[in-house]
């Protein structure tokens, strides 16, 4: 920041772009260009896909990282301004100048907090009392190497003897030592783990937990944190999930954790500071006091803050990554679904068409791990109704899931040759969804219990369309999501959903309001406007989106490329989610045919090419002698691939024409074979060395959980650097079975 003589602050020393470049490791000009796009209101998916040349071909992950750094830098500016206002009310003169200088150079919130604590001290501190006695100038002179006759201060009020004077001066010197720039720099380096300082995280049972007796709620929780009692690990070796576990244990009153610094004096930058020989002992006493009372606690706070913030960021990033992968899962096309929401008392069943329509529902008692006769008969009737058609059973993974899987496996075994299979579907958030106004609107005739079963089944048929109806934090992905900032987690997950939905692409004439509102540039109001518009007549072009009330130029720019106009769907008269307003498909087809004749439609509306790029795209099509109507055909794409001597912008547009929107890609056959099961195995039947196909259920900081068709998911340790996508199929080998703890350890086979 620049300063006037009155210490007014107008700008920080760094620009937002500079901080983004520093934190992300990008070229400074590149970072400034991407920040300018964010300033203009561009969202991450739009920048990643349609501003490639401006960003220097950043990947989506790099753009996302830039946006996080951009938001942090903006927030940092606000915090600096607030901190300066706070300090101005408590200090002045040279102290204020130093404080502002330190704040101007702050690079994260912890540095701001550290400076604020140093300079906004209360007068009741030991150093504050000494200042009030007028000893600060003397302490500064001693620190700067001068020799003073301390007896001349004896006559002052409350300074009755030399010992009292030296005590006050020692307190002031300790304070001065702690405020030095060198001290602050060392604290920052050590707290960011940039030195070889030996620091250990230590966890122990809390005093309250030690007194807990059997039957207490606190006593019952001790077993959950057994690994962290008398725990010790170096800060360079400790894992993020361990920090979050310690935090969770402390929150619940089971644990306390702290940091032990080996020989903190050895880490202090002023341990060799030279003062006049007359004051060496005084300074040494002050240094020791400063280290013990100020420096060491300051280090402990800073390191702890760094470890917790790092762990929280990792947890949020893990959850967000899992969420994007969950939304990217392929739908199961053409299958009838028998969906089961398990429970120890009652099991809820729903029979769905391949479009997710509810054909029938049923509730049945489920006791002793057995279906009733009536239930088995009903499932048999459903299977008979769609005999010869593809049918799958979806079982929620909540309470009584394993028992339900075993009962279903027995049913399948008895119906030999039926080709029936089952799979486990995450049911997190289904019960939350079932009591929402949206669920009431979609399934008004069903009670909440049966709506949950419908939600579980639809997650197979249309993962993104169904998961988007649920608040992301309720989807049960990642690790320790309840131990991090709810605000930061919710914000990161909202952005992840928008990114996943936008980059996947949305059929503008079929998508629900819930799906549309997650597209770049859209919100609930404009999404509802799109649905309202298409009820009057199908949306035949991206240009027609300009008719949507409230959709301004910037919003149109952001959303247009991600909204797909599928002419085949429209001309075939296929029904969208909002249809049922009494208009016949034939009438709709006539409207589409009319718009096609009038030239309103454009084949490019079915591609990833943005409307602002259509002119260049058409030039490239002419150059390749390809008709726009043929753009989705393989031969046309092959011809476009052969174009040479293209500019950077032309290459980008050509690549967008070659790319395909995967609104409903079919899952690979191999995935389907591995995805469904006929039986479920007990943990005791698993043998070390056995190899299975498993389905990735969750990624955490410490490993990946995989469903291998057993009573418990197995865990592959150490997949942090390259975690497999959620929902993907993985070949795994059993490397360990712990029957007592009910744990299965897996590894990925080398071949």
Pair (694, 647) in one structural domain: no
Residue 13's pLDDT is 63
**Whole-angstrom distance, CA of residue 747 vs CA of residue 264:** 42
Whichever domain contains 374, its CATH number is 3.30.420.140
83, 88, 51, 81: which is closest to 66 by C-alpha? 51
CATH of the domain at 549: 1.10.150.310
Cα-flanking dihedrals φ and ψ of residue 683, to 5°?
-60, -35
The answer to whether residue 313 sits within a structural domain is no
Cα separation, 592 vs 672, whole angstroms: 37
Measure the CA–CA gap between 621 and 633, rounded to whole angstroms: 13
> Residue 728 in contact with residue 707, Cβ under 8 Å?
no
**553 with 629, same domain?**
yes
Q: Is residue 131 part of a domain?
A: no
- Beta pairing, strands 691-699 & 729-738: antiparallel
Q: How far apart are CA 356 and CA 336, in angstroms?
A: 8
| In a shared domain, residues 546 and 418 | no
Answer whether residue 176 is part of any domain: no
CATH code, 717:
2.40.50.140
Same domain, 218 and 96: no
H runs (alpha helix) in 360-447: 373-385, 401-414, 430-434, 437-442
Q: List the one residue out of 361, 166, 392 whose CA is nearest residue 278.
A: 166
Q: What per-residue confidence (pLDDT) applies to 488?
A: 87
pLDDT recorded at residue 494 = 92
Structure tokens at 229: 């009692």
Q: What angle do CA 534, 539, 544 make, to 5 degrees?
A: 115
Q: Which residues contact 119 (CB under 8 A, 6 or more apart)?
A: 87, 90, 91, 95, 96, 98, 99, 102, 179
Question: Does one domain contain both 695 and 640?
Answer: no
542 and 600 co-located in one domain? yes
pLDDT at 112: 80
Using a CB cutoff of 8 Å and minimum separation of 24, what contacts does 469-472 make? Answer: 469/433, 469/436, 469/438, 469/439, 469/512, 469/514, 470/428, 470/429, 470/430, 470/432, 470/433, 471/429, 471/432, 472/319, 472/323, 472/496, 472/497
- Report the predicted TM-score, pTM, of the whole model to 2 decimal places: 0.80
Q: SS3 for 691?
A: strand
Model pLDDT, residue 478:
73
35: which residues sit within 8 A by CB, 6+ positions away? Answer: 16, 17, 20, 66, 70
Let me know: does 250 contact 228? Beta carbons within 8 Å. Answer: no
- 456 with 343, same domain? yes
What is the DSSP-derived secondary structure letter of residue 205?
A: E
* Domain membership of residue 50 as a residue range: 1-120
Alpha-carbon span 77 to 267, nearest angstrom: 31
- Indicate which CATH number applies to the domain containing 83: 1.10.10.650
User: How do 358-367 and 346-352 pair as beta strands?
Assistant: antiparallel
455 in the same domain as 357: yes
Of 435, 461, 487, the one marking the end of a domain is 461
Give CA–CA dist 597/540, Å, rounded: 11
Residue 383 falls inside a structural domain: yes
666 — phi, psi (to 5°)? -70, 140
Same domain, 348 and 399: yes
417 domain residue, yes or no: yes
Q: Are residues 346 and 403 in the same domain?
A: yes
Q: What is the mean pLDDT of each run of 10 residues along the chain (751 residues)?
A: 35 77 91 96 97 95 95 89 81 76 76 74 76 91 94 81 92 93 90 94 95 86 93 96 94 96 95 95 96 94 93 90 88 93 95 96 93 94 90 91 90 77 90 95 96 96 93 81 81 92 93 95 97 92 95 97 83 45 47 49 92 96 91 87 93 89 43 56 88 87 87 85 84 91 90 68
Q: Kindly state the helix (H) or strand (E) to which residue 245 belongs, with its residue range.
A: helix 240-251
201, 267, 300, 78: CA torsion to nearest 10 = -130
What are the two backbone dihedrals, phi and then psi, of residue 473, each rounded to the nearest 5 degrees? -70, -10
What six digits make up the tokens of 497? 């959903």
Strand, helix or coil at 698?
A: strand
Residue that is last in its domain, among 120, 139, 170:
120
Note the pLDDT of residue 416: 60
Domain count, the chain: 5
Residue 273 domain-assigned (yes or no): no
CA distance 130 to 140: 12
Both 455 and 549 in one domain: the answer is: no
What pLDDT shows up at residue 640? 92
In a domain, 696, yes or no: yes
- Which is nearest to 96 in space by CA: 124, 116, 78? 116
Distances (CA, A) of 174 to 169, 290, 293: 8, 4, 9
* 207 φ, ψ (degrees, to nearest 5): -60, -40
Q: Are residues 431 and 559 in the same domain?
A: no
User: Quick check: is 193 in a domain?
Assistant: no
The residue out of 80, 105, 120 marking a domain boundary is: 120
């Amino acid at each position: 920041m620049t300063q006037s003589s009155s210490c007014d602050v107008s700008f920080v020393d760094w620009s937002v772009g500079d901080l983004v470049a520093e934190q992300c490791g990008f070229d400074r000009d590149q970072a400034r260009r991407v920040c300018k796009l964010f300033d203009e209101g561009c969202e991450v998916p739009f920048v990643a896909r349609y501003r490639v040349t401006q960003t220097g071909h950043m990947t989506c992950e790099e753009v996302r990282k830039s946006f996080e750094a951009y938001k942090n830098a903006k927030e940092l500016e606000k915090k600096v301004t607030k901190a300066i206002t706070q300090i101005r009310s408590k200090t002045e003169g040279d102290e204020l100048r130093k404080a502002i200088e330190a704040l101007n150079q702050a690079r994260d919130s912890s540095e701001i907090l550290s400076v604020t604590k140093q300079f906004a001290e209360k007068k009741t501190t030991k150093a504050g009392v000494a200042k009030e006695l007028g000893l600060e100038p003397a302490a500064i002179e001693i620190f700067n190497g001068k020799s003073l006759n301390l007896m001349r201060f004896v006559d002052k009020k409350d300074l009755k003897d030399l010992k009292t004077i030296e005590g006050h001066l020692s307190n002031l010197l300790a304070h001065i030592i702690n405020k030095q720039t060198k001290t602050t720099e060392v604290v920052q380096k050590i707290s960011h783990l940039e030195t070889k300082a030996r620091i250990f995280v230590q966890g122990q049972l809390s005093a309250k937990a030690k007194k807990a007796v059997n039957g207490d709620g606190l006593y019952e929780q001790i077993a959950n944190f057994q690994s962290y009692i008398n725990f010790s690990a170096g800060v360079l070796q400790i894992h993020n999930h361990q920090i979050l576990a310690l935090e969770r244990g402390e929150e619940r009153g089971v644990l306390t954790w702290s940091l032990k610094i080996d020989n903190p004096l050895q880490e202090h930058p002023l341990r060799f500071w030279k003062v006049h020989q007359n004051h060496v002992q005084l300074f040494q006493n002050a240094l020791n006091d400063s280290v013990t009372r100020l420096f060491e606690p300051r280090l402990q706070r800073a390191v702890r803050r760094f470890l917790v913030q790092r762990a929280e960021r990792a947890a949020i990033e893990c959850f967000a990554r899992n969420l994007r992968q969950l939304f990217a899962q392929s739908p199961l096309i053409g299958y009838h679904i028998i969906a089961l929401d398990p429970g120890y008392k009652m099991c809820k069943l729903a029979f769905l068409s391949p479009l997710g329509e509810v054909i029938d529902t049923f509730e049945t008692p489920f006791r002793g791990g057995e279906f009733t006769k009536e239930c088995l008969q009903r499932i048999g009737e459903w299977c008979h109704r769609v005999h010869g058609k593809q049918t799958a059973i979806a079982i929620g993974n909540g309470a009584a899931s394993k028992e339900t899987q075993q009962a279903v496996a027995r049913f399948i075994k008895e119906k030999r040759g039926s080709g029936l299979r089952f799979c486990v579907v995450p049911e997190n958030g289904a019960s939350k969804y079932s009591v929402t106004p949206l669920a009431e609107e979609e399934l008004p005739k069903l009670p909440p219990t049966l709506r949950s079963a419908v939600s579980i089944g639809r997650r197979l048929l249309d993962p993104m369309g169904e998961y988007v109806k649920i608040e992301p934090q309720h989807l049960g992905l990642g690790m320790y999501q309840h131990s991090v900032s709810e605000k930061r987690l919710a914000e990161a997950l909202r952005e992840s959903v928008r990114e996943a939905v936008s980059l996947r692409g949305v059929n503008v004439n079929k998508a629900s309001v819930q799906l549309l509102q997650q597209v770049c540039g859209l919100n609930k109001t404009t999404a509802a406007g799109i649905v309202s518009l298409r009820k009057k007549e199908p949306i035949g072009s991206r240009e027609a989106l300009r008719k949507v009330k409230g959709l301004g130029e910037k919003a149109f720019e952001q959303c247009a490329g991600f909204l797909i106009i599928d002419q085949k769907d429209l001309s075939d008269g296929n029904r969208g989610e909002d249809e049922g307003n009494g208009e016949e498909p034939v009438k709709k087809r006539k409207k589409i045919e009319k718009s096609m004749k009038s030239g309103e439609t454009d084949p490019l509306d079915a591609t990833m090419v943005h409307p602002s790029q259509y002119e260049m795209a058409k030039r490239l099509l002419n150059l390749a002698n390809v008709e726009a109507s043929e753009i989705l055909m393989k031969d046309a794409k092959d011809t476009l691939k052969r174009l040479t001597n293209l500019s950077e912008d032309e290459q980008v547009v050509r690549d967008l024409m070659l790319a395909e929107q995967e609104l409903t890609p079919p899952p690979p056959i191999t995935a389907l074979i591995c995805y469904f099961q006929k039986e479920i195995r007990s943990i005791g039947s698993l043998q070390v060395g056995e190899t299975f196909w498993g389905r990735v259920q969750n990624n955490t900081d410490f490993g990946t959980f995989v469903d291998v068709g057993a009573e418990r998911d197995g865990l592959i340790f150490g997949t942090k650097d390259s975690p497999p996508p959620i929902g993907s199929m993985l070949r795994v080998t059993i490397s360990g079975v712990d029957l007592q703890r009910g744990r299965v350890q897996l590894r990925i086979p080398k071949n």
